[in-house]
Amino acid sequence: MTSQARPHDRSPCSAGVTAVASVGDPARARASERLLHEFAYHEKLPAIWGAYRSRRLSVPALMLNGERDFFVPAPSLGGSWPYADDLRVQVIPTAGHLLAEECPETVAAATCAFLQ
């Protein structure tokens, strides 16, 4: 994947071009693919199937979501609050699903602000 393969001009993060271009490195691309695969099959699917519904998240949590996320659309986020004491949802305008690659500066700033 090259930096021209994604519509970065719509991203709120200038660093996104560099981050996505770095996935063009085959080793890094394989590592990203493995990480996504492990998360999808070992965490996301059980969550979708209700594996965690009997549990309550009791620590403060921040959920960052892209406005254009195809996998977890922003309008679907409203149903999480009954399962968490302090869940903060922040929707990143014009971003998609891979926030850390699309807009790493925005993700870092939101995370730092949340942790302070």
- Domain 13-115: state its class: alpha beta
- Extents of the domains making up the chain: 13-115
pLDDT digits 0-9 by tens, 23-82: 567 787 777 777 777 777 777 777 777 777 788 889 999 999 999 988 888 777 777 777
Sequence-distant (≥ 6) Cβ neighbours of residue 63 within 8 angstroms: 77, 80, 87, 88, 89, 90
Q: Is the confidence at residue 14, as pLDDT, over 50?
A: no
Count Cα atoms within 13 angstroms, Cβ side, for 106: 24
Instruction: Supply the pLDDT for residue 20.
Output: 52
Residue pair 80/53 in contact (Cβ under 8 Å)? The answer is no
Q: Is the confidence at residue 91, as pLDDT, over 90?
A: yes
- Whole-angstrom Cα distance, residue 21 to residue 105? 15
Q: For the whole model, what pTM was predicted?
A: 0.60
Of 3-12, 61-70, 107-116, the one with minimum mean pLDDT is 3-12
- CB neighbourhood size of 102 (10 A): 26
Mean pLDDT of 2-16: 44
Sequence-distant (≥ 6) Cβ neighbours of residue 85 within 8 angstroms: 56, 57, 58, 59, 60
- Whole-angstrom Cα distance, residue 38 to residue 34? 6
Task: Say which DSSP state 100 is in.
Answer: H
- Whole-angstrom Cα distance, residue 96 to residue 89? 15
